[in-house]
């Protein structure tokens, strides 16, 4: 790990203190995991950026965090004595929480008890020995990162801006340095929200607990009334999802929900869509398809509108979260701060790379197919080879390689 | 415009506070005997609150109405008895809810602004009557357990939540209740002392509280048929001596404590468990009961949390109606 330590030390020695800027630094708890031990060092605080920078230079962190919360006494060890004053609203979008096909190619789990192993999303307990001692090796891949990015855009474009009225200028996005993004809302309006209030926000974007009746879906006198596709919020989202599902789904997909009655929808498809477009709330639904079936279609249809966030991060009002412009100790990549307009063209495997000096000889134990910058590698096993510094650091951080002899 | 009558109806308003302040009265002033009418009315308000009844506003003497409310509340705080403050807060909530439902929309906007700084606006869309800022809505709404109060079931647009008048009345009246309860924790209120002469007049009230509390707090035997399936499942595992996760133990302990089982009873119940450690178990149960440690009496996790930890099993038709295992118990107990 010496090479990693040296590289990280170099990074923190050369960093411009202003790159460590966060809102109200003096009210935040800073925490880090040092190189020597696994234990987290917590409850530290800094009055200004220069003292933080000096500290990091002398206590090089493998991982660096700050509190989403603002405290009166951020350095107090007892949580009650910290004097919580508020917290940023945070959303965590991580490829770990989004099922993707490519995980079968690059994520591997194995059982520490019986050495059984497999690929893709890890099981809770070992299928062979039933023990819960599963270790996981996950890899960054472009596909996973793209899906995480799409999820972030969905969260912002479909929820944060139109529904919650948050200006895209007030949304700070951070690439986590690994497989996801953190979205920070630092507006005064949201700071005082309780954990319960934040849970409502998390449930809102995850579509948990929707009551379709509350959004206007009901049967009156044998006629189906639903929300208008032009309505704001979940009302319109429900209507549009239903509209899109009806217009695009195949008979096979509909049969899964409706059985033989799928034919009714297919034959009257145009009429249904027209009624939603023209009449708004008065939906034309063929006789024989009741409100329960419609609800089922809606439930399936809205799935793609739901945001896959890790709700625990949003609900927690005292979360420690990765420090912008710090380095991720499992990848060596930079926790990049992005604006909304920069997100689209951001390529984490290029733009988050900091170590770019020359190449290094390493011994690779086992690696699936990966890319770093423009360099592609793998799948390979037990090989000594020379690779660009960024890739060497990434693989050593992962524990998949050692310095070559 | 908020009138004097409004202040009498909604004495939690900031305007009411400043109206009262102009009289410059302190608790000591009520010892003199000059204000017997106000004192009597205040005592009546306390009596009604204890009995759980709403006392209608007497509009013939508004000043007395306003001042007696403030006095009644001060006495409730001064008695250092959280029970009476809770009763008072509950009855104020009910009273305000009834009054607000009948109020004109424009008036509600003023009440919300003056009382809580909420920015209600009139709206007329999809059957909603008002809109209010999301962050203000979320101060109170999550306290309600029913699904109809989830944010996801409101129309939310551009930072505003659209809401019907009846629900605004519910939200505002709940805020009233919370305001009364929160004040109890203020240092100034904690220091408040009732002068001797007034304390004598509270004798009957104190007697009434005692008799009421006895009736209400007679320890209830947990009704087994009312226990939700998730809790029953854990209890079954415990009885059979199966290993139970930490989260499951916490859930069942907090549940049983909250429906009135004693620490000892729960301790005995857990004795069956395979890895039972007498000292540790007793410590943990007492911790959850709020007797030691952080002194917080815990409640079991919500259904949502139980779901995500895999403890929500064997759901039945009652489960659909509730968001919390204790709510389940409350509903089913009534039917038994």
Cross-chain residue pair B159–A164, CB shorter than 8 Å: yes
Q: For the residues B139-149, what does the mean pLDDT come to?
A: 88
Q: What is the pLDDT of residues A67-121, one digit of tens each?
A: 999 999 999 998 889 999 999 999 999 887 777 777 777 778 888 888 888 888 7
- ipTM at complex level: 0.92
Nearest CA in chain B to A205: B152
Contacts with A232 from chain B: Cβ below 8 Å: 155-158
- Contact between B133 and A165 under an 8 Å Cβ cutoff? The reply is no
**B274: pLDDT strictly greater than 60:** no
In sign, the C-alpha dihedral spanning B42, B48, B54, B56 is negative
Domain range list for chain A: 2-93+162-194+310-354, 103-137, 212-305, 355-405
Q: What is the 3-state secondary structure (H, E, C) of A89-145?
A: EEEEEEHHHCCCCCHHHHCEEEECCCCCEEECCCCCCCCCCCCCCEEEECCCCHHHH
Contacts with A207 from chain B: Cβ below 8 Å: 152
Classify A212-305 by CATH class: mainly alpha
Q: For the residues A126-136, what does the mean pLDDT come to?
A: 83
Residue with tokens 């129309």: B155
**B217: pLDDT strictly greater than 60:** no
Distances (CA, A) of B191 to B71, B80, B186: 16, 10, 9
**B18: pLDDT strictly greater than 70:** yes
Q: What is the pLDDT of residues A237-293, one digit of tens each?
A: 999 999 999 999 999 999 999 988 999 999 999 999 999 999 889 999 998 898 999
A96 in contact with B, Cβ within 8 Å:
no
Average pLDDT score, chain A = 92
Ordered domains of chain B (ranges, CATH): 4-100+177-216 (no CATH), 103-169 (3.30.200), 224-335 (no CATH)
What is the fold, at CATH topology level, of the domain defined by A355-405? Ribosomal Protein L9; domain 1 (3.40.5)
Residue B271's nearest CA partner among B260, B255, B285, B257 is B285
A336 in contact with B, Cβ within 8 Å:
no
CA–CA min distance B136, chain A (Å): 9
Q: At what angle do helices A291-301 and A233-248 cross, to 10 degrees?
A: 90
Q: What is the pLDDT of residues A302-326, one digit of tens each?
A: 998 999 999 999 999 999 999 999 9
Q: What is the pLDDT of residue A1?
A: 63
Q: For the residues B19-25, what does the mean pLDDT come to?
A: 91
**A194: pLDDT strictly greater than 90:** yes
Nearest CA in chain A to B138: A197
Q: How many CB pairs under 8 A join A and B?
A: 87
Band the pLDDT of A184: cuts 50, 70, 90.
very high
**B325: pLDDT strictly greater than 70:** yes
A127 in contact with B, Cβ within 8 Å:
no
Q: What is the pLDDT of residues B182-210, one digit of tens each?
A: 998 898 888 888 988 888 889 999 888 88
Cross-chain residue pair B147–A209, CB shorter than 8 Å: yes
Contacts with B159 from chain A: Cβ below 8 Å: 164-166, 189
Across the interface, which of A162, A199, A235 has its CB nearest the CB of B158?
A162
Nearest CA in chain B to A232: B157
Cross-chain residue pair A163–B126, CB shorter than 8 Å: no
Contacts with A234 from chain B: Cβ below 8 Å: 152-153, 155-156
Cross-chain residue pair A163–B156, CB shorter than 8 Å: yes
Cross-chain residue pair B304–A208, CB shorter than 8 Å: yes
Cross-chain residue pair A200–B152, CB shorter than 8 Å: yes
Q: What is the pLDDT of residue B223?
A: 72
Q: Judged by CB atoms within 8 Å, which residues 106-145 of B form the interface with A?
A: 126, 133-135, 138-139, 141-143
**B110: pLDDT strictly greater than 60:** yes
Across the interface, which of A165, A210, A235 has its CB nearest the CB of B160?
A165
Q: What is the pLDDT of residue B209?
A: 86
Q: For the residues B67-79, what does the mean pLDDT come to?
A: 93
Q: For the residues B216-245, what does the mean pLDDT come to?
A: 75
The bridge status of strand B155-157 relative to strand B160-163 is: antiparallel
**For residue B145, is it left (φ>0), alpha (ψ between -120 and 50) or beta?**
alpha
Cross-chain residue pair B135–A201, CB shorter than 8 Å: no
- Contact between B109 and B123 under an 8 Å Cβ cutoff? The reply is no
Q: What is the pLDDT of residue B220?
A: 52
**B222: pLDDT strictly greater than 80:** no
**Percentage of chain A lying above the pLDDT 70 cut:** 100
Q: What is the pLDDT of residue B290?
A: 79
Q: What is the pLDDT of residues B112-121, one digit of tens each?
A: 999 999 999 9
Q: Judged by CB atoms within 8 Å, which residues 145-164 of A form the interface with B?
A: 162-164
In sign, the C-alpha dihedral spanning A44, A45, A46, A52 is positive
CA separation for the pair A107, A95 (Å, rounded): 11
Q: Where are the beta strands (DSSP E) in A263-347?
A: 282-283, 320-322, 337-338
Band the pLDDT of B219: cuts 50, 70, 90.
very low
Question: Tokens at residue A73, please?
Answer: 């006494």
Q: What is the pLDDT of residue B188?
A: 87
Band the pLDDT of B216: cuts 50, 70, 90.
low
- Contact between A181 and A333 under an 8 Å Cβ cutoff? The reply is no
**Percentage of chain A lying above the pLDDT 90 cut:** 74
Residue of higher predicted confidence among A193 and B189: A193
- Widest pairwise Cα distance in chain A: 81
Alpha carbon of residue B63 to chain centroid: 28
What is the fold, at CATH topology level, of the domain defined by A2-93+162-194+310-354? DNA primase, PRIM domain (3.90.920)
Q: What is the pLDDT of residues A365-377, one digit of tens each?
A: 988 888 898 898 8
Q: What is the pLDDT of residues A11-55, one digit of tens each?
A: 999 999 999 999 999 999 999 999 987 789 999 999 999 999 999
Mutate to test the interface with B, among A131, A207, A235, A299 (most CBs of B within 10 A): A235
A233 in contact with B, Cβ within 8 Å:
yes
Residue A184's nearest CA partner among A170, A165, A163 is A170
**A207: pLDDT strictly greater than 70:** yes
Q: What is the pLDDT of residues B297-317, one digit of tens each?
A: 788 999 988 887 788 888 888
Q: For the residues B323-328, what does the mean pLDDT come to?
A: 92
Cross-chain residue pair B151–A163, CB shorter than 8 Å: no
Question: Tokens at residue A222, please?
Answer: 């044998």
């Amino acid at each position: 790990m010496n090479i990693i330590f040296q590289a990280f030390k170099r990074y923190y020695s050369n960093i411009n203190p202003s790159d460590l800027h966060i809102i109200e630094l003096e009210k935040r708890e800073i925490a880090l995991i040092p190189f020597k031990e696994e234990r987290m060092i917590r409850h530290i605080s800094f009055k200004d950026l220069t003292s933080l920078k000096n500290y990091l230079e002398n206590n090089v962190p493998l991982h660096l965090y700050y509190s989403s919360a603002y405290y009166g006494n951020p350095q107090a060890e007892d949580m009650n004595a910290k004097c919580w004053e508020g917290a940023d609203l945070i959303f965590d979008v991580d490829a770990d929480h989004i099922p993707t096909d490519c995980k079968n190619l690059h994520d591997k789990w194995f059982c520490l008890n019986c050495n059984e192993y497999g690929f893709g999303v890890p099981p809770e307990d070992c299928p062979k020995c039933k023990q819960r001692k599963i270790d996981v090796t996950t890899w960054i891949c472009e596909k996973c990162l793209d899906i995480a990015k799409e999820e972030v855009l969905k969260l912002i474009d479909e929820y944060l801006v139109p529904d919650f009225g948050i200006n895209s200028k007030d949304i700070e996005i951070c690439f986590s340095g690994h497989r996801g993004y953190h979205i920070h809302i630092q507006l005064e309006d949201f700071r005082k929200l309780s954990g319960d209030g934040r849970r409502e926000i998390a449930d809102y974007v995850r579509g948990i607990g929707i009551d379709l009746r509350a959004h206007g879906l009901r049967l009156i006198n044998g006629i189906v009334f639903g929300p208008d596709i032009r309505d704001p919020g979940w009302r319109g989202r429900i209507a549009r999802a239903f509209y899109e599902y009806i217009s695009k789904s195949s008979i096979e997909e509909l049969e899964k929900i409706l059985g033989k009655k799928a034919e009714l929808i297919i034959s009257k498809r145009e009429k249904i869509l027209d009624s939603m477009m023209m009449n708004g709330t008065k939906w034309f639904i063929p006789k024989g398809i009741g409100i329960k079936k419609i609800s089922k279609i809606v439930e399936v249809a809205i799935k793609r509108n739901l945001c896959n966030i890790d709700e625990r991060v949003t609900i927690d009002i005292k979360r420690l979260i990765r420090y912008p412009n710090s380095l991720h100790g499992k990848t060596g990549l930079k926790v990049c701060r992005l604006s909304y307009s920069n997100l689209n063209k951001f390529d984490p495997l290029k733009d988050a790379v900091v170590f770019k000096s020359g190449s290094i000889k390493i011994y690779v134990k086992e690696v699936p197919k990966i890319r770093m910058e423009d360099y592609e590698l793998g799948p390979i096993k037990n090989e000594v080879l020379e690779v660009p510094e960024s890739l060497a650091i990434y693989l050593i951080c992962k524990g998949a390689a050692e310095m070559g002899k | 415009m908020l009138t004097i009558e409004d202040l009498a109806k909604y004495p939690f308003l900031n305007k009411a506070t400043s109206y009262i302040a102009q009289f410059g009265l302190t608790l000591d002033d009520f010892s003199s005997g000059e204000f017997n009418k106000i004192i009597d009315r205040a005592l009546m308000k306390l009596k009604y609150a204890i009995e759980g009844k709403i006392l209608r506003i007497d509009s013939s003497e508004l000043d007395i109405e306003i001042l007696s409310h403030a006095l009644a509340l001060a006495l409730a705080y001064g008695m250092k008895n959280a029970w009476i403050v809770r009763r008072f807060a509950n009855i104020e909530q009910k009273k305000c809810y009834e009054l607000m439902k009948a109020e004109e929309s424009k008036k509600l906007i003023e009440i919300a602004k003056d009382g809580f700084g909420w920015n209600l606006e009139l709206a007329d869309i999809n059957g909603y009557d008002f809109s209010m800022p999301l962050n203000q809505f979320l101060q109170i709404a999550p306290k309600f357990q029913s699904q109809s109060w989830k944010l996801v079931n409101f129309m939310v647009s551009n930072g505003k939540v659209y809401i019907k008048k009846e629900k605004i009345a519910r939200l505002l009246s709940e805020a009233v209740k919370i305001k009364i309860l929160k004040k109890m924790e203020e240092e100034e209120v904690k220091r408040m002392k009732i002068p001797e002469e007034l304390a004598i007049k509270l004798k009957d009230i104190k007697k009434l509280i005692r008799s009421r509390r006895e009736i209400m707090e007679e320890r209830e035997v947990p009704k087994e048929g009312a226990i939700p399936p998730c809790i029953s499942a854990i209890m079954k595992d415990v009885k059979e001596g199966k290993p139970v996760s930490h989260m499951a133990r916490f859930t069942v302990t907090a549940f049983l404590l909250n429906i009135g089982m004693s620490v000892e009873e729960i301790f005995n119940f857990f004795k069956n468990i395979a890895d039972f450690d007498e000292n540790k178990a007793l410590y943990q149960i007492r911790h959850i009961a709020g007797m030691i440690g952080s002194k917080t009496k815990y409640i079991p996790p919500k259904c949502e949390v139980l779901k995500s930890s895999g403890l929500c099993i064997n759901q039945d038709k009652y489960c659909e109606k509730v968001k919390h295992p204790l709510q389940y118990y409350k509903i089913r107990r009534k039917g038994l």
